[in-house]
Chains A and B, each alone.
Chain A
């Protein structure tokens, strides 16, 4: 009997995992199903560019089916609850799904209701609709105070607010209204960025560009009428336009299924990525409780670890014996691929056609190189080749 493998979520982690499993498992050994509410894969890093008018939204989404290998079944539906005991997933529209192995890659969701006034009083770029709404607001902006802040941690794509600040500064200079605009960057920490070494690179650039850094600003409330933000620390900031990263949360069904820890995220082993106490169930990407960036890059590097564990649990560790079957005729996988060490790689745009790169893991913080046009072009190139590489498992 083929193993039933179910993957929840058709983002970077889910799509890549499905394709790698289909590639690496012997033919007929498993049936792979991927469950996604819309059946659409969205390249979320592009929202930033849409908000700033640097790209249109057309290139940011593709049909999930078009990115998957033919043998993978797409189920357009949403999980409502996981019953880990009976290994069943209750679906919103169409009954239930049984599984032998389960990969949870359902990402993170904006939770604007957590901060009073946030939705009514601010903009963000954490969905297509919000990015387009912000683009329109920026188009109509003629000068004043812009606040850029973070209304809850952890949040998706940690460098994004910093990148937004740099690219906004550049955009306003081009429109010749930078001298009429005060940009204030409100950080919940005592530095600009979560990672200290990256902050050391960012902060002098903020100073050079006239972006004012305010530290320890944890957003408490937003008053849309008065255009004022109040922090938990008791300070008030007035604004003409506020761009605030909303708080994020895991999918609600994970809470209902009792799979989250006290922080509200899916509890997984930091190295094996197996859900704590649940054999054969894995978590990747934003939805986990790992102390690492919530980003597509994280999911990208986690996925092969989960795939290798599932592969070994189905066919054993000896690939040579199975190579004669045909589809396993590939390089053997080193034992280190069985453990995720926290690897993340992400670009950080610093404006004026320059960027840097952050490469780090659980133990080693990044040592970002001086921003240069090379990294900016690398990011530009990556954005263009994304569709034919990352979700398909080609890099």
Chain B
């Protein structure tokens, strides 16, 4: 997984601000975005929900995509995922 500083350099096709959304909202928003993007695209989701810390990496693993990195920002977490298939 990329370090915080490296993650800022990853180009994303979409930044989803799901900070106003509660579990499972951020996960569902990320799933929709990954489904609608192209193979190879990177997508980021911002979440304030503590459940996302486990749910989002677990889903990425199950769906066989790549978790590029997880960043702790100012009061929220940014997850960056690459669509692999």
Contacts and interface: CB of A to CB of B under 8 A. Distances in A.
Interface in B6-48: 21-25, 27-28, 31, 34-35
Contacts of B27: 189
Given A220-B35, A232-B35, A291-B22, A189 B62 contact: no
Interface in A215-245: 215-216, 218, 220, 232-234
A256 interface: no
A194 B55 CA distance: 12
A232 B31 contact: yes
A142 interface: no
Interface in A182-201: 188-190, 194, 196
Contact of B55 (A153, A190, A232): A190
B35 to A, nearest CB: 5
B24 A153 contact: yes
Nearest to A232: B35
A233 B35 contact: no
The contact size tier of chain B is 10 to 19
B25 A196 contact: no
Contact of B59 (A153, A190, A194, A234): A190
Nearest to A231: B63
A36 to B, nearest CB: 30
B2 interface: no
A214 B46 CA distance: 27
B55 A189 contact: yes
Contacts of B24: 153, 188-189, 194
Contacts of A194: 23-24
Contacts of A233: 59, 62-64
Contacts of B54: 190
Contacts of A190: 54-55, 58-59, 62
Given A196-B51, A216-B58, A216-B59, A234 B25 contact: no
Which residue of A194, A215, A232 has the most chain B CB atoms within 10 A of its CB atom?
A: A232
The contact size tier of chain A is 10 to 19
A58 to B, nearest CB: 37
Contacts of A220: 35
A222 to B, nearest CB: 16
A190 B21 CA distance: 18
Contacts of B63: 216, 232-234
A220 B48 CA distance: 27
Contact of A218 (B21, B25, B31): B31
A313 B41 CA distance: 51
Nearest to B54: A190
Interface string A264-298: 00000000000000000000000000010000000
A189 B59 CA distance: 8
Contacts of A216: 58-59, 62-63
B64 A234 contact: yes
A291 B24 CA distance: 9
A69 to B, nearest CB: 37
Contacts of A189: 24, 27, 55
A291 B47 CA distance: 14
A220 B58 CA distance: 19
Contacts of A291: 21-22, 25
Nearest to A292: B22
A194 B51 CA distance: 11
Contacts of B21: 291
Interface of A: 153, 188-190, 194, 196, 215-216, 218, 220, 232-234, 291
Interface of B: 21-25, 27-28, 31, 34-35, 51, 54-55, 58-59, 62-64, 85
Given A189-B55, A291-B21, A291-B25, 14 more contacts: A153-B24, A188-B24, A188-B28, A189-B24, A190-B54, A190-B59, A196-B51, A216-B58, A218-B31, A220-B35, A232-B31, A234-B63, A234-B85, A291-B22
Please provide the 8 A-B residue pairs with the shortest distance between their CB atoms, ordered closest to farther.
A291-B22, A233-B63, A216-B62, A190-B58, A232-B35, A153-B28, A189-B24, A216-B59
7 contacts: A189-B24, A190-B58, A190-B59, A215-B62, A216-B63, A220-B35, A232-B63
